[in-house]
Structure 1
Amino acid sequence: MASADPLLLVLKLAQDAEEQAALLLKSAQLDCQKRQNQLNALNHYRLDYMKQMQSWQGQAISASNYHQFHRFIRQIDDAIAQQNRVVADGEVQKNYRQQHWLDKQKKRKAVELLLANKAKKRQAAELKYEQKLTDEFASQQFFRRKPS
């Protein structure tokens, strides 16, 4: 009985590595989406607050309230700027995970190609051997039937 091809173990390891990379990519994509949603929420909150302030136009607003409003808007803007950096970092991480997954996928496909080529060569050798046996059998039959 022939032992199992070591490339099958390499293929299994490559498949496992690709699967793990795919899970990490999915996690990075979800994290990136979460970060983007948080940024969208901050932008929406800022917009709502600005609309609220705009609705107060024409009304008497104390200098203290006006100052607090601008300070709060600056804080929201700072939070938005920070969240933009968080989103950018998430994109970098996602792109890294995607490249990592593509590399693992490429390795798996290379091992599959090696196995396919090996199988083709083995099949060609088997066909050649079967043809040789058939030819030998035919020539033996020919010589046995030949009248002496």
Structure 2
Amino acid sequence: MANTDPLLLVLKLALDAEEQAALLLKSAQLECQKRQNQLDALNNYRLDYMKQMQSQQGQAISASHYHQFHRFIRQIDEAIAQQQRVVADGEKQKNYRQHYWLEKQKKRKAVELLLDNKEKKRQAIELKKEQKMTDEFASQQFYRRNK
């Protein structure tokens, strides 16, 4: 009878949904890390470029070179700002998927709880039946002895 319980099918579906949600979450986490690594690379590139320019500080630089340097730094800063938005979007997606996974996990646990309660009720009924049979047997024995 337990094998044909419709709740077992519901549990299987809940487990499948939770597993899918976990895979989506893992994918979002990896994507977030990738985006953060790209942002870190841009920040490191900017820092290296600034250090390179600082090392030339005592040397004479042409106005066009200085202008070019500032224009390039602005471009890097724009790329960093854009990548920060990409990272923030990735974080939002990751948080959404984490919430989705937690919801699926909660549903699965609820179905497991229902199945557990159902099994406990079945065991209690079985125990009562056994107790009733034992009581009937004892009363028949008592009746036979006293006859």
- The interval holding the TM-score normalised by the smaller chain is over 0.9
Task: Give the Å deviation of 1:2.
Answer: 6.6
Indicate yes or no: 2:119 matched with 1:119: yes
Q: Give the match for residue 84 of structure 1.
A: 84
Q: 1:3 to 1:91 in 2, by over 3 A?
A: closer
* Structure 1 unmatched ranges of 5 or more: none
Deviation at 1:138, TM superposition (A): 1.0
State the distance in 1 between where 2:81 and 2:133 align. 78
- Superposed CA RMSD in Å reads 1.1
Distance 1:114 1:49, change over 3 A: same
Matched, 1:103 2:93: no
% identical equivalent positions: 85
2:136 counterpart of 1:136 = yes
- Residue segments in structure 2 that go unaligned for 5+ positions in a row: none
Match of 2:5 in 1: 5
Q: Which amino acid aligns with 2:53?
A: M
Q: Distance in 2 between matches of 1:3 and 1:38?
A: 51
**Distance of aligned partners of 1:96 and 1:2 in 2 relative to their CA distance in 1, 3 Å threshold:** closer
CA shift at 1:140, angstroms?
Answer: 1.1
Residue matched to 1:23:
23
Q: Which runs of 4+ in 1 moved over 4 A?
A: none
Cα displacement (A) at 1:56: 0.8
Q: Residue type matched to 2:137 in 1?
A: F
Distance 1:111 1:5 in 2: 12
Q: Distance in 2 between matches of 1:95 and 1:47?
A: 30
TM-score (normalised: structure 1): 0.96
1:65 match? 65
Q: Amino acid of the residue matched to residue 35 of structure 2? A: R
